[in-house]
Structures are given as C-alpha cells and as structure tokens.
Amino acid sequence: MPDPAPTTRASFVIGDEATARRVTDLLGECFDEAEMAIAAFERPDKSWEIALHFGELPNLDGIRDLVAQAAGDDAAKAMSVETIAAKDWVAASLEGLVPVPAGRFIVHGSHDRDRIPPNKLGIEIEAALAFGTGHHGTTRGCLTLLDLVLRAGPPNRVLDLGTGTGVLAIAAAKALRQPVLATDIDRQSVAVAKENARLNGVGTLVEAVHATGFSAPVFDAWGPFDLVLANILANPLRALAQPMSEHLAPSALVILSGLLQPQAQSVIAAYRARGCVLLRQIVIEGWSSLLLAKTF
C-alpha cells in the first residue's frame, strides 16, 4: 500500500499564551477543518509556537497575509514552511499541547495520560480528534461552570446538546457516574463522541445520538432535563431558547457557550423571556459562558 501524500506545515512563534489562543481562534475560523488543522503549544522559553497543517499545498502568500493580520508582520515574515509525512502530522501538531485544567477536569492528550493528578478527572481526546477541545475558551468555560454546578448537587437528567467531540458529556458522565445524553446534528461528530466516550471509560454511560434541535423522539424519552449543556453558536442558541425551555425540568440549570462577549446579552435576553435567569457569566479570552436557571 503506498504511503499517504505528504502534508505542508507552516509555523511561527509569538510571545504569550493569550495571544496564541486569540491567533488560533482567528486562523481556525478561516479554514474548514478538512482543509487545515491548527495547534498551539508552549516552548521551553515560554514563547508559543503556532503550527498550521494543510492536506494540500496552500497559497503561502495568502497564508502569510492571514498570519500578518492575526499575529503581526514579524510573525508572518518569520513563518517557516516544511513538508512532512502525512502519517506524522497529527501527532506532531499536538504532541506539545499541555493539559488544560478547568475546575476538577483536565483535558489532555494520550501523551499526558500518566500525568493527571489523582484528585482530578482527566478527559483524554485522541490526537486526530483534538481540535475543538478544552484548549478553546468556550469549552474551558463550560467545564468550569459544570464543575461549579456539580459541587452544588448532582442533576439527574443531563443533556449535552451539540456535543461535538463529546468533551462535556464525558466530563458529566465521569463526575456523576450516570447516563448522559449527547446529541449533534453532524453524524461524524456523533461517531467521534462515541469513540471518545469509550476511550475515557464512559462508553456505556454516554448515549450519543444524531438529532437536530429538539425534534427527535429521544428528547421526550430522556427529558425533562435537569441540566443542559450547549456549546454551539449565538444564532442557534437564540433559536433554541423556546424548544429548550419546553424540555427543562423545574429549577433546571443551563450552561451555554460559543458566544463572543458582545453576543452574550442577546442570548441572555432570549432565555430570560423563556423563564431562564442568569446566575453567572464567565469570560475566557473573549468568549462568554453562561449559567442560567429556569424559574418558571
């Protein structure tokens, strides 16, 4: 069997973690995940390296222009480009990522499996599936709020709506040791969530289902929910306010994210109109995560 085609790796170094995360967010929004993967990791000198991996040779002048817009002219001029074997690029892009703590949870790669403290709950994501995990401010915000909620008392029926890689469902299942429903409109994401749940030892606890909105019968079968986690985007969150409120148990809690800070108020207003009041808002790197409670 022939070896896979080589891939292109472009990398550059910038000064601090906050800038690195901002730059990865900006660049990540410019490409489909099938075209490019991006990773940021800390170097021994405390600077941060950004690595972009392309399945096909990109327009390098265009990439330099994007890097200049996101990270400045110096980073664009210093960007290096190399060709590496396709079988190596995923591991190479993520092997330097440090574990990300959020409350009692730590999102990590397989290379850090043995470094998770015994008093923490590790969530391991396969390298090939690790984009869009706890390294993003929205997921970290959701995990932090989830930890806060679980310390106050265990909810009985939990939904992770728009589960993606399954990180939030896995976190809830690990902490509660009880079944969690995870849904997504993308069938590939459902398969990824199932595999990640199995990898993390909660494959029998996380029921990952392909579903759009709240229209599938599974929501009536599982609900009403005591806790809903939804880390998606502002527009769908606003659109889901009414159907979600209809599937909430009395005094249910809702954790929402995927919101740039200026978008948060319109989402808060949409849920307030459906009887959900804001209890707490946290902002990580410009991304808002909300904790709301149903009052009627």
Quick one: CA dihedral 169, 181, 211, 273, positive or negative? negative
Q: Under DSSP, is residue 209 helix (H, G, I), strand (E, B) or coil?
A: strand
48-54 and 100-102 beta bridge pairing: unpaired
231 is in an annotated binding site: yes
Name the nearest CA neighbour of 50 among 15, 74, 84, 77: 15
Annotated binding-site residue? 226: no
Q: How many helical (H) and strand (E) elements, i.e. helices and strands, does the chain have?
A: 11, 14
The CA distance from 226 to 240, in Å, is: 17
The answer to whether 186 is a known ligand-binding residue is no
Instruction: Please state the φ and ψ torsions of residue 67, each to the nearest 5 degrees.
Output: -65, -40
Euclidean distance between CA atoms 87 and 76, whole angstroms: 27
156 known ligand binder: no
Annotation: binding site for S-adenosyl-L-methionine: 139, 162, 184, 231
Annotation: binding site: 139, 162, 184, 231
